[in-house]
Structure 1
Amino acid sequence: MAYVVNGEQLETDDQGFLLEPDYRDEVVDAIAAAEGLALTDRHWSVVRYLREQYREHGHTPNFRNLLKGMGEILPGCDSKSLYDLFPTGPAKQGAKVAGLPQPLGKGGY
């Protein structure tokens, strides 16, 4: 599976994660469309958080750390609300939509 953004084909692994991070907003839109997600401001908050964590640590947080971090950013954010945004798994699907490589292990650190 590959995504085409502005005429450029982006390389992915067999699960559709980018092999190299790409921080363009157009990439998020393309991957979200392929995942069947209509992005809201809350989606973008998660995307920005995951990208920030990837830049800072070289990988994305696992679900527990994602939940903790998002709880500080979005009041009332809980596991149900994250799964409402990313139904196949907030840590993994969120990273995919954010244009990041596949998380380590069970979803990051």
Structure 2
Amino acid sequence: MPYTVQGQELETDDLGYLIEADYSDEVVEVIAAAEGLSLTERHWEVIRYMRDEYREHGQTPNFRHMLKGVNAFWPEADSKALYELFPMGPAKQAAKVAGLPQPFGKGGY
């Protein structure tokens, strides 16, 4: 399921994750639309967090670490709030929408 962004086809794995990270906002919009998500500012905050974590650690956080990290800028966030944003699984779906490769194992570090 490759995504086409600005006329360029991006390579994905079997689950629709990009093979190589792409940090453009256009990629986020295309993948979010494919996932059936209408992005809000909260989505973008989580996406920026996931991208920062990937840049810093070379992988994305698992759900527990994600929740802890998100609480730094969204203190009232809980599991339910993250599942409302990313109903297919916050750690994995947020990574996909952020234009990042598939998380390792059960969802990163």
Which category describes the TM-score, using the shorter chain as reference length? over 0.9
Q: Does 2:14 align with 1:14?
A: yes
Amino acid at match of 1:9: E
For 2:83 and 2:8, the matched residues in 1 are separated by 31
4+ runs of 1 displaced by more than 2 Å?
none
Secondary structure at the counterpart of residue 71 of structure 2: helix
Residues 15-62 of structure 1 deviation map (CA, whole Å, 9 limit, x = unaligned): 000000000000000000000000000000100000000000000000
Residue 57 (structure 2) aligns with: 57
1:1-80 matches, within 5 Å, as 1-80=1-80
Q: Which moved more, 1:67-76 or 1:94-103?
A: 67-76
Secondary structure at the counterpart of residue 69 of structure 2: helix
| Percent identity of equivalent pairs | 69
Residue 81 (structure 1) aligns with: 81
Secondary structure at the counterpart of residue 73 of structure 1: coil
Amino acid at match of 1:105: G
Q: CA deviation at 1:75?
A: 2.3
Residue 98 (structure 1) aligns with: 98
Instruction: Could you tell me which runs of 5 or more consecutive residues in structure 2 were left unpaired when the two chains were aligned.
Output: none
Instruction: Could you tell me which runs of 5 or more consecutive residues in structure 1 were left unpaired when the two chains were aligned.
Output: none
For 2:83 and 2:19, the matched residues in 1 are separated by 24
Amino acid at match of 1:84: E
What TM-score, normalized to structure 2?
Answer: 0.99
What TM-score, normalized to structure 1?
Answer: 0.99
